[in-house]
Chain A
Amino acid sequence: MSNNIARKKIDSATIISAVIVLCIYVAAFVAEQFIAPTSMLFTVLKKGATYALVAVSMNLLNGFTGIFSLGQAGFMLIGAYVYGIFTVPVAERINVYQYYNGGLVQFVLPWFVAMALSGLVAAFFAFLIGMPVLRLKSDYLAIASLGFAEIIRAVMQWDKLGPITNGSNMLRLFPSFNDFNIRAADGHVVVYLSTLVPLLIAGVCIGVIILLINSTFGRALKAIRDDEIAAEAMGIRLASHKRLAFCISSFFAGVGGAMLAMYQTTVQAKGFTTAMTYEILLIVVIGGIGSVTGSCISSFLFVAASEWWLRFLDQKQMIGSFEVPLLRNGFRLVVLRRRGPNERERTSP
């Protein structure tokens, strides 16, 4: 009986969240049709959706599995490049790869195939790097994954890989979010979808992560986070489960990277720095380690604050105020963490 009641409670919570999400989608769709596409609102929604996905993927690792990885920017970089490499139109390749005779790849994939491939390639790299890295303890793992991201960044800029990656030059002219808009023959936009589609992609991906977290595998990951020794004693194989979490997290970071490429319309390896990982970590920490909803909300707030609401601080360089948006968040990261959620003392064995 009580089990049924508990079930119903969960169900009603699910329904309420589903309704809220649906309302957001409808509102975004409607807003898009009537508000000028240059509004900062859409910038925030597009970039926010991208960051939300990446933040949730990081949370899967840091929050739900207890693996403190700082490689997110590296996997985003892989995703963004894979997407770019396979979607630059053949006709434009000679312009984009101007120093490499149009590059090696001379075909295009549909955007969604390229995006899925972004995730798969990122996951594959995670699989490779996971073998040595996941054996390490917390802080060593953090620094090793960070180092890995830096290696990827250097490799992508290597001149010899230029025919594929365009070296240290920009990848551009691939389909962006604006190409989701449905246009009439004369190029006039009939239906705006450039905000709705990224929101949908992020929504579906985050939905999959939530399903995973609530499955038997999600429970196993949480068990590893809570107590590795007990989890192993309950028959959970640590290595394979950690690797699974690492690969899945990287898969979605890769997809997020592809989305970031679409948002930015250009990709350049030098943009995917450690600072980007820190930004995402900041979002995860503000939203609450181990909270998917928190990561989503804080992504949009973070993007809104840094790109929109607090922009005036940048423009005016006011002398009276000593808060730049990012600076403020930096403080918040320090301050918030002190009584952050899920803070537990570990008893040593």
Chain B
Amino acid sequence: MWNTIFPYLLTGISVGGQYALIAIGYTMVYGILRLINFAHGDVFMVAGIVMVYMAASGLPLWLCLPLVLIVTALVGFLIERVAYKPLRNAPRMSAMISAIGVSYTLQNLVLYITGGLNQLYPTIPWISDSVTIFGATTKMVTVVTPVLTILLVVALVLLINHTKIGMAMRAVSRDFETSQLMGIKINSVISMTFVIGTFLAGVASILYFTNYTTVIQTSGAMPGLKAFVAAVFGGIGSIPGAVVGAFIIGIAENIIKGLDIILFKLGVIAAPIGLATFSDAFTFALLIVILAVKPTGLFGEKTTDKV
């Protein structure tokens, strides 16, 4: 039983960590701007494409990795300046449509550049190596992801709670207008939020695509949506909530992927019934249920954690 479930659990934890890194970007932006940044998943995808092209151009990998992160953060910064800043006082729906527009633009830009073909992600040494853990064979990245995720989240929480910019972020998320009146440079706080969010999405993309090995223009859509669901599930605006939500969703989704086999091996069902089809649908069902039952999410009420 353990041997049947464990590989799925392991993948789930790993994917959950990747979702968590993306979800933080959603939750931070929502906390400050009350905007669902629909383009966030696509920034994640763009980070993957940038890596593909950088590696193909012959740059050494040790240089590619930091460069990808810098470029991704820059993309996030530019998106905010070009598409969201002019709409800051517009109705929420306009900003949301603009976000969808950015998502659409990024996807089509990549479609144009790549010609719509799957791009092979470069193999990064060490984290692509195979490793056997408790009898399950997997890539090193699976083990690295949750550890790295936790480290980054701890660093982020420290940043938010103990630095000046973190204090400014907390203030802006609590009350936009007042913090402006208090002399907080609102533009730099928002830019910083986008830079941090997209930086983490860049890290997630390195981990995610090392696992899945190919990138295409739609690669960011599903992980992006799921990370968003994770952010809502955990209580949007709350960083610990987003992380917990992401791990739950990552694990649940992968257990469902293997549910046919698990149930079959346990003797519950006689033949596979195709439950894996619902691994994506489950996430959204969870979203609708949580929104209907507790719209603030798991940690939504703890406003002290809001960013």
Binding site for B on A (CB under 8 A): 62, 68, 129, 132-133, 135-136, 138-140, 142-144, 146-148, 150-151, 153-155, 157-160, 274-275, 278, 281-282, 285, 317, 322, 324, 326-327, 329-331, 333-334, 337-338, 340, 343-346
Q: Given A140-B295, A144-B287, A154–B98 Cβ distance below 8 Å?
A: no
Report chain B residues within 8 Å CB of A140.
232, 291, 295
Judge whether B87 and A142 touch: CB under 8 Å. Answer: no
Binding site for A on B (CB under 8 A): 34-36, 82-83, 86-87, 89-94, 96-98, 100-109, 111-112, 115, 218, 221, 225, 228-229, 232, 273-274, 277-278, 280-281, 283-285, 287-288, 291-292, 295
Judge whether B278 and A158 touch: CB under 8 Å. Answer: yes
Judge whether B284 and A344 touch: CB under 8 Å. Answer: no
Judge whether B96 and A68 touch: CB under 8 Å. Answer: yes
Min Cβ gap A318→B in Å is 11
Name the CB-closest residue of B to A155: B281
Report chain B residues within 8 Å CB of A153.
281
Report chain B residues within 8 Å CB of A151.
281, 284-285, 288
Judge whether A340 and B94 touch: CB under 8 Å. Answer: yes
Judge whether A135 and B292 touch: CB under 8 Å. Answer: yes
Judge whether B96 and A142 touch: CB under 8 Å. Answer: yes
Judge whether A330 and B284 touch: CB under 8 Å. Answer: no
Report chain B residues within 8 Å CB of A346.
91
Q: Given A143-B287, A150-B280, A158-B278, A138–B101 Cβ distance below 8 Å?
A: no
Judge whether A317 and B115 touch: CB under 8 Å. Answer: yes
Judge whether A334 and B281 touch: CB under 8 Å. Answer: no
Q: Given A330-B101, A334-B101, A345–B112 Cβ distance below 8 Å?
A: no
Judge whether B287 and A147 touch: CB under 8 Å. Answer: yes
7 examples of A-B residue contacts, CB within 8 angstroms: A129-B288, A143-B36, A151-B288, A275-B104, A278-B104, A317-B115, A343-B91
Judge whether B277 and A143 touch: CB under 8 Å. Answer: no
Name the CB-closest residue of A to B30: A139
Judge whether A322 and B232 touch: CB under 8 Å. Answer: no
Q: In the docked arrangement, what's the CA distance between A143 and B274, Å?
A: 26
Judge whether A330 and B105 touch: CB under 8 Å. Answer: yes
Q: In the docked arrangement, what's the CA distance between A331 and B109, Å?
A: 10
